[in-house]
Amino acid sequence: MSSSRDDFGIAFRSALLQRGAAQKFSLISLIFVASILFFLDVFGFGFMKPVRSIINDGVYRVSLVASSPSRFLPDLTEGIKGFLAIKSENERLKKEIEIFKQKELNVEYLLNQNKNLKKILDSEDTYLKKENILLSKVLIDKSSPYLKSIIINKGTSSGILKGMAVLDKEYLIGRVVETNYLSSRVLLLNDLNSRIPVTFGEDGIQAILKGTSGTKPVLEYLPEDYEIEEGIDVFTSGKDNIFLPGSPIGTTTLDGKVKLFSEPSQLSFVKIDISQELGKEF
């Protein structure tokens, strides 16, 4: 019994301390260094912020170059697939035209609904002016099972601040959570850490849209006994004074979730609303 415990101790010590022929560092020293780095970064020591910012900018650029082949291959495959499927594409488009024709009939109804929503949201502030919009390219959109975020190619040098709203076309997709000099990280709406105040429906129901790590965020803090109907458009309410009210987000589903208008995995260019006051901390 004691000899097996001795064996364990010897093997464990050996695993921690030994350095093989090609090993320059022992595991224990690297574990120690990694732990120190982790705590320095987590507890936000002053000097870590610029260091991290420089490392981020450098690694994001290298990552962009390294990811080029993986971007090219899907494009090539898609091209071949598209070429082979022209007929089915044509049929699909015909069907879509039919659907659009049907949708045209609902335009009047939608216009009225839009007017009502503008009234609800005090619509003077709802439309973004062109000068307040900054177009940015998505550098990295590596999908993590834990965090849903993208890296964009604009940073503090372009006036980006933490908390700024990020849009795809006119649809809200997330907010800036980390800024570097030349790049920024955008937390997407479907991330578990995302919380956005929203409003929807003719009665202007208020709720919080919470990310779930899945594809559809969920509505929380709804009025008691409220039953969600399918297909109601959800907008930002602007209650947090971070997002302008009236940015469309998605439509409700029966299970209390929101199907986003913008597909988070298909982003190439995004718009950043830079109308917020410079120097404002979120």
Partner 1 sequence: MIKNPINKIINLGPLILLYYLSISEIDSHFENYFEILSFNIQLIIIYFWMLKRPELLGSGHIFFSGLINDVVMGFPLGLSSLSYLVISLVATYVKNMTVNTRITTDWFTFFIAIFFSNLIFYILVSNFSELTVSITEISYNTFFTLIFFPFFWFLFNFYNSMITSGKNA
Q: Which spans of this chain sit near partner 1 (rule: CB under 8 A)?
A: 7, 11-12, 14-16, 18, 20-27, 30-31, 33-42, 48, 52, 55-56, 59-60, 62-63, 66-67, 70-71, 140-147, 149, 178, 185, 192-193, 213-215, 265
Report the residue number, 1 or 62, with the smaller CB distance to partner 1. 62
User: In whole angstroms, how close is the CB of 149 to partner 1 at the nearest point?
Assistant: 5
User: In whole angstroms, how close is the CB of 168 to partner 1 at the nearest point?
Assistant: 17
User: In whole angstroms, how close is the CB of 115 to partner 1 at the nearest point?
Assistant: 36
User: In whole angstroms, how close is the CB of 42 to partner 1 at the nearest point?
Assistant: 5
- With CA atoms as reference, report the closest residue to 262 among 179, 197, 166, 195: 166
- With CA atoms as reference, report the closest residue to 276 among 134, 137, 123, 117: 134
What angle (nearest 5°) sits at the alpha carbon of residue 122, between those of residues 219 and 103?
65
Report the residue number, 52 or 239, with the smaller CB distance to partner 1. 52
Report the residue number, 21 or 105, with the smaller CB distance to partner 1. 21
Report the residue number, 16 or 97, with the smaller CB distance to partner 1. 16
User: In whole angstroms, how close is the CB of 164 to partner 1 at the nearest point?
Assistant: 17
Q: Using the 8-state DSSP alphabet, how is residue 247 labeled?
A: -
Neighbours of 21 (CB within 10 A): 4
Strand order in the sheet with 258-260: 218-220, 205-210, 195-200, 233-236, 248-252, 258-260
Go through 237-257 and write b for each residue having 16 or more CB atoms within 10 A of its CB, e for each that does not.
Answer: bbeeebbbbbbbbbbbbeeeb
Report the residue number, 20 or 231, with the smaller CB distance to partner 1. 20
Please answer whether residues 258 and 216 qualify as being in contact, where contact means their C-beta atoms are separated by less than 8 angstroms: yes
DSSP tally for the chain: helices H, then strands E: 6, 12
User: In whole angstroms, how close is the CB of 194 to partner 1 at the nearest point?
Assistant: 10
Report the residue number, 56 or 247, with the smaller CB distance to partner 1. 56
